[in-house]
Amino acid sequence: MSDKKTDFENNLKELEKIISELESGECSLEKSIALFEKGISYTDECRKALEKAEHKIISLTEAEGEAQDID
C-alpha cells in the first residue's frame, strides 16, 4: 500500500513541477505543449488513485455499517 501512496505523491510532485514550469512563462510553445501533455497523464494517474481510495473508503464504511446492523 505504501507503494501506491508513494506513486500518488510522486505523481503529484511531478505535476506541481510541471505547473511551476508552465507558469514561469519561460518555455517554448513546443515544450509547453509537451509539459501539458505530461501533466494530463500525471493528473489522470492521480485521479485514478483518488477514485480507488474513495471506492475503498465507501466499501469499508458500508461493511462497517452492515456489521453494526448485525449487532
> Which domains, and CATH codes, for the chain?
2-70 (1.10.287)
Would you say residue 1 has pLDDT above 60?
A: no
The 10s digit of each residue's pLDDT in 15-49 is: 999 999 999 999 999 999 999 999 999 999 999 99
How far apart CA 71 and CA 60 sit, in angstroms, is 17
CB 4 within 8 A of CB 49: yes
Residue 38: its pLDDT value, please? 98
* Burial class of residue 27, CB neighbours in 10 A (0-12, 13-18, 19+): middle
SS (H, E, C) 6-57: HHHHHHHHHHHHHHHHHHHCCCCHHHHHHHHHHHHHHHHHHHHHHHHHHHHH
Residue 16: its pLDDT value, please? 97
